Amino acid sequence: MKKFLCVLFSLSVFACTLIGFTGCKEKNEKIQIELGMWPEANLTQDIAMYKYWESQFEEAYPQYDIIAAPYTYNLQAFVSDAASGVLPTVFQTWMTEPPSLIENGYIRDITDQLEQLGWLDKLDEGLAANLTVNNRVYGVPRDGYAMGLMINKKIFEEIGIFYDSDGDGVTDIVDEEGNPLYPTTFQEIYEVSQIVCEYTEAKGIAILSSNQNGGWQFSNIAWNFGAVLQEKNANGKWVSHLNSQACIDALEWIQMMKNEDLIAPGVTLPYSDWYKLIGTRAVAMCFAGSDAISMPVTNYNFNKDDLVLVPMPGDGVHQAYSLSGGTPFVFSKDATDEQVLGALRFLEYMGRSPVVSDVARAAIERGHQTAQSKGMPIVPTIKPWKSHDYLAMIEEIEPQYINVNMEYYQEFFDTIDQMRRVEEPNYCQKMYEELDRAIQAVLENPATANPTALLNTANNNFTNKYLNELNK
């Protein structure tokens, strides 16, 4: 009898739990939108901003119920979250992720909803490329970034590279004739790094090398040595050239830098290291995205006026590119059409849509004010939408809030449209992973590593494991 009661009790608890969950859904007849981009609990200023947007939105669209569901995308947790159906309606990811998320059916097509709102032809083509498969769109870009060379101005002043060239009492990054004082080629980075290491305790530059970040940065370095990493051959098959002479030159440049101890120590440097190293004066330079300028400031109290962002260097022969990506908003496979529409409409209230309105204007201004109050550096953005009225609105608002000396960023933003280049089209993260291994091998044994052999291995692995599958 006792056992029977135990079993009965267990079953009752199980049944009640199920009923409880079902009841939750039926209780609220509004369309629920779970916002994964809602800020984490410790970001109180951001939460206040989101709550304001939420109240405005729910007033204008009473049929929707906005639910805060802070969600940080990471590879480790994502698959289980998606498989167990706990993804929020809309969330942020990285620009390289959508192809695999689409392939595995984790995110949904939102083309019809974008068309319904009249947003489809307003997307920036470069950013939209990674969100589009077979002419169907699976997300919208939140913002864009392009890679540049970030410099610790103080260190460059100390070693005499930056000085006040025009006599106005402010350090300049160009000379009297307007020529760059900062490194514009990899050879110049090498030379400047030697000076940095000789006269300061810092290293010249940080080269990331783990969690696909090494490959991510390396692909930009290799492009600027003239590399073509992936292309379709005459037979319409995808081929990779990770072992081309240009790639070898790029890896040999890293090897030379490491051999002379000009690079930050370590073999497996993750993403968080670049802002730690530059924010703590451990390196003078690093490659970083334009959307992440605030990282050393917010994480290491680095003085925002001591940062400089200049265009990516080249090899002096080939066209220099700036790897461009961004953060997209994507939508859970389980989201309904109505939820997607609601989430897209909410973007207007965040100032992240192409809609030009008082609401959007106020949201953009509020976003800037919040960033200002947090002491974050505010610089021009790479716009995710291309419609003229949207661009005009941004151009009107943005300059009012810029709180850095634009002299230190102007060259970067002036050249970015010509330099921007989107990431490689196929299995990008896997390609980065293979390149990570080659970089790690060079960093570990700079004196003996053979870049040609390492890149041959990387190319063979990438071709055999991924491109051959794709070409089947």
Partner 1 sequence: MLPSLVLFSFFVWVPLLSNISLSLYTTKGFEKIQFSGLENYLAVFKDDLFVGALLNTCEYAFWSVIIGFLAPVIMAIILNEIVHFKGFFRVCAYLPNMVPGIAAAILWTFLFDPSAGSMVNSIIVALGKEPSLLIDDSDLSIILIIIAMTWKGAGATMLIYLASLQSIDSTYYEAARLDGANFMQRLRYVTIPHLLPNISTLFVLQIISVFQVFYEPMVMLDGGTDASISLMLLSYNYAFKDSKSGYSAATGVILAAIIIAFTLLYNFVQKKLSPQSE
Closest approach of Cβ 105 to partner 1, in Å? Answer: 6
Task: Give the DSSP H or E segment for 273.
Answer: helix 272-279
Give the single-character DSSP code of 159: T
259-288 footprint of partner 1 as x/- string (CB under 8 A): -----xxxxx-x-----------x------
- 269 in Cβ contact with 203 (< 8 Å): no
Q: Residue written as tokens 């959508």?
A: 98
Cα 78–84–88 angle (5° rounding)?
65
Strands 139-152 and 283-289: antiparallel
Q: How far apart are CA 164 and CA 386, in angstroms?
A: 38
- 254 in Cβ contact with 443 (< 8 Å): yes
Quick one: which of 111, 239, 444, 456 contacts partner 1 (CB under 8 A)?
444
The yes or no reply on residue 17 touching partner 1 (CB under 8 A) is no
The yes or no reply on residue 80 touching partner 1 (CB under 8 A) is yes
How many residues of this chain interact with partner 1, rule: CB under 8 A? 31
In a 10 Å sphere around its CB, with 0-12 CB exposed, 13-18 middle and 19+ buried, how is residue 198 labelled?
Answer: exposed
The yes or no reply on residue 10 touching partner 1 (CB under 8 A) is yes
Quick one: which of 93, 193, 211, 459 contacts partner 1 (CB under 8 A)?
211
* Pick 226 or 266: Cβ nearer partner 1: 266
The yes or no reply on residue 62 touching partner 1 (CB under 8 A) is no
* Pick 104 or 452: Cβ nearer partner 1: 104
The yes or no reply on residue 71 touching partner 1 (CB under 8 A) is no
The yes or no reply on residue 426 touching partner 1 (CB under 8 A) is no
* Pick 35 or 251: Cβ nearer partner 1: 251
Reading phi first (left if > 0) and then psi (alpha if -120 to 50, else beta), residue 427 is in left
The yes or no reply on residue 135 touching partner 1 (CB under 8 A) is no
Closest approach of Cβ 460 to partner 1, in Å? Answer: 10
Quick one: which of 76, 179, 233, 400 contacts partner 1 (CB under 8 A)?
76
Q: Which residues pair with 163 in a beta bridge?
A: 172
Q: Which residues pair with 68 in a beta bridge?
A: 35
98-117 footprint of partner 1 as x/- string (CB under 8 A): --x--xxxx-----------
- 155 in Cβ contact with 281 (< 8 Å): yes
* Pick 107 or 181: Cβ nearer partner 1: 107
222 contacts: CB under 8 Å, gap ≥ 6: 229, 246, 247, 250
Chain residues that interact with partner 1, rule: CB under 8 A: 3, 6-7, 10, 75-80, 82-83, 100, 103-106, 210-211, 264-268, 270, 282, 437, 440, 443-444, 461
